[in-house]
Amino acid sequence: MDRLKVDLGARSYEIIIRSGALVELGLQLRSIGEFSRLMLVTNPTVYELYGEQLRKGLGVDEKRLVLGLVPDGEEYKNMEQAERLIDLAVEHHFDRNSLILTLGGGVIGDMGGFVAAIYQRGINFVQVPTTLLAMVDSSVGGKVAVNHPRAKNMIGAFHQPRLVLIDTATLNSLSERDYRSGLAETVKYGIIADPGFFEYLRDNAGPINRRDETALQYAIHRSCEIKAGIVEDDEREDGLRAILNLGHTFGHAIEAGSGYGTYRHGEAVAIGMILATRLAHRLNLLSTADMQSILELMQVLGLTLPVPNLPPKEMVDLMYQDKKMRNGRLRLVLPTGIGQVTIRDDIDRSLLEELISQQG
């Protein structure tokens, strides 16, 4: 069993990575404490695939277990669905010693974690991600949220899980599209922090495309390790953690402008990473050789997607609604080399509009 620790003092927790880990969930939960009630937050698709297996692995009294089903899709990551889960918690007398367990992708993890953060001013929750994107990104770090109709993740909190349990066997049920979506965040870690990992992804693109278990196990481990290190240094995104947003300002605008659910989050981030890479090259921050290396890896992993047919001005307007704005200035993470990035807040919007129009 592969274990990593996110060291945050009293808020520390473990990330467990292993094929077949779902069957040991009950044992792992008992190691972190006893809970009065447990709400399983998931969607119908994931529940049909893994619900019975998870319930057996939990080994808890069914009277203490409440099922909170959320419809499948980014468009349902909203306050209405969060309030439905809160209603369930109130109806079943959840107290501060109760637990929320999320089983699914980033939408489910963010939604369940958000409800845990605000219910009775915060109760415990555990992340059990079943998509590659959630495994390497959203399940780690404690950022939980729901979307506002005009901006992604605008309503949220920092609330660390008690445990992240990653069963890599669940990746076998992912569609090709959802699998590729997760690869975008994996590539991001190589670009922002680790040229050796970037080279690993490039050298093992074939096995990764085939979902080879050994290659994926390492890719997930290293992605989580990089993110854990950044979160330990900057839990609430006051500094270093902002580099995790490479491609996200463009990506969030694409998701909001196209209608939530049109693009997978990882697809939008992949487009955003390509735009950020081309912008950095245009600003002479990134060499032609490094730009080509990034674009080639994105292509070989099936992450070269067209920019959506949104008016450039509209897309830039949406970027300016991003929650990472500071004092009215748009902050963009841009690569300066493989394993290095910078944050710029002086990019003229006309240059952004021109860049987007040329990639359409």
pTM above 0.85, yes or no: yes
Mean pLDDT of the chain: 95
pLDDT over 90 at 286, yes or no: yes
**pLDDT, tens digit, 9 for 90 and up, residues 148-207:** 988 889 999 999 999 999 999 999 999 999 999 999 999 999 999 999 999 999 999 999
- May I ask the CATH architecture of the domain 177-359? Up-down Bundle (1.20)
H or E stretch covering 98: none
Q: What angle do CA 175, 178, 181 make, to 5 degrees?
A: 150
**pLDDT, tens digit, 9 for 90 and up, residues 204-255:** 999 999 999 999 999 999 999 999 999 999 999 889 999 999 999 999 999 9
Q: What angle do CA 117, 119, 124 make, to 5 degrees?
A: 55
pLDDT value of residue 63: 84
Q: What angle do CA 183, 185, 188 make, to 5 degrees?
A: 110
Place 360 in a pLDDT band, splitting at 50, 70 and 90.
low
3-state secondary structure of 352: helix
3-state secondary structure of 281: helix
Residue 20, token pair as written in the block: 């077949």
Q: Tell me if the domain spanning 2-173 has CATH number 3.40.50.1970.
A: yes
pLDDT value of residue 350: 96
Determine the Cα–Cα distance for residues 262 and 252; give it in Å rounded to an integer: 12
Determine the Cα–Cα distance for residues 182 and 287; give it in Å rounded to an integer: 26
Would you say 4 and 15 are in contact if contact means Cβ atoms under 8 Å apart? yes
pLDDT value of residue 1: 63
pLDDT over 70 at 330, yes or no: yes
Query: What does DSSP say about strands 143-148 and 151-158: parallel, antiparallel, or unpaired?
Result: antiparallel
Residue 253: what residue type?
A
pLDDT value of residue 22: 93
Determine the Cα–Cα distance for residues 156 and 292; give it in Å rounded to an integer: 36
DSSP 307: P
Determine the Cα–Cα distance for residues 236 and 159; give it in Å rounded to an integer: 10
Catalytic positions are 121, 143, 185, 227, 237, 241, 245, 248, 252, 265
pLDDT value of residue 129: 98
pLDDT value of residue 61: 80
Would you say 112 and 85 are in contact if contact means Cβ atoms under 8 Å apart? yes
Determine the Cα–Cα distance for residues 93 and 37; give it in Å rounded to an integer: 8
Equal CATH topology for 2-173 and 177-359 = no
Extents of the domains making up the chain: 2-173, 177-359
Question: How big is the chain by its Cα radius of gyration, in Å?
Answer: 20
Would you say 275 and 356 are in contact if contact means Cβ atoms under 8 Å apart? yes
